[in-house]
Copies of this chain bind each other. A is one copy, B any other.
Amino acid sequence: MPTLYHHPLSAASRYARLVLAEYGEEPTLVQKSPWQWDEQLLAINPAARLPVLVDDNELVVAGAPVIAEYLFETRGTRFGEDEPLLPPGPAERAEVRRLVSWFGDKMQAEVTGHFVHEKVHKREMKVSEGGGPPDSTALRAARSNIRYHLRYIGYLVERRNWLAGQEISLADLAAAAEISSADYLGEVPWEEDERAREWYTRIKSRLSFRPILADVIRGAPPASHYTNLDF
């Protein structure tokens, strides 16, 4: 059984968990605090970032997009699914990878990273580590930026069914990971885009989403609609 070093509200960790679940893997989860100096984490990933996968053969794979490509290359087809999470054509793959970066890098930097850092990490960090109350400027920026990302999701799924094409792909899982972290914290203004809400309903109903929906952070319970499939 593979092991995943993760943090429950880290969107990158959630992306890796979703891809693992799509391939029918139920990893041993080891929770880490990304802001703490951690010899165990540094030993397996000198970048000290989450997530890190240790596969059955002891191979260490660091970083969510790298883990996703690795699982695609080693797990092959998914049970009961015909379409691969990364399509065969180079043009289609480039579009999937562009969107994985859009959500995992851009939305993370503009939206999700702020929400998780300000509302979750800073509650658990000591003052000497930078802990304290949320910075309202950062939260305001994230609340403004998320509307733009929701509309972009709506724009894409209106034209394509799923984000990168007619079939679900790594792009949908990367985007859903970001959205789900914000949604846990009650920070997704669903009224902004009905098409984005419809897309999220579809992906949230998948079997692979259940472990994500079962997450509960100590002292920060999820928003009331978080697990509701008809939100």
Contacts and interface: CB of A to CB of B under 8 A. Distances in A.
A69 B93 contact: yes
A74 B59 contact: no
B93 A70 contact: yes
18 contacts: A46-B152, A47-B98, A47-B102, A47-B106, A59-B91, A62-B98, A63-B97, A63-B101, A65-B97, A66-B94, A66-B97, A66-B101, A67-B94, A69-B93, A70-B90, A70-B93, A70-B94, A74-B90
A73 interface: yes
A94 B94 CA distance: 18
Q: Which 5 A-B pairs have the closest CB atoms?
A: A73-B90, A66-B97, A70-B94, A61-B94, A74-B90
B98 A63 contact: yes
A59 B102 contact: no
B65 A93 contact: no
A107 to B, nearest CB: 10
A65 B101 contact: yes
In the complex, the count of this chain's copies comes to 2
A61 B93 CA distance: 10
Contact of A97 (B47, B69, B94, B101): B69
Contacts of A63: 97-98, 101
Interface string A104-147: 01100000000000000000000000000000000000000000
A222 B105 CA distance: 31
Contacts of A47: 98, 101-102, 106
A20 to B, nearest CB: 15
A94 B152 contact: no
A105 B66 CA distance: 13
Nearest to A155: B46
A228 B46 CA distance: 32
A59 B94 contact: yes
Contacts of A102: 47
A74 B106 CA distance: 26
Nearest to A57: B91
Contacts of A98: 47, 61-63, 66
Interface in A63-91: 63, 65-67, 69-70, 73-74, 90-91
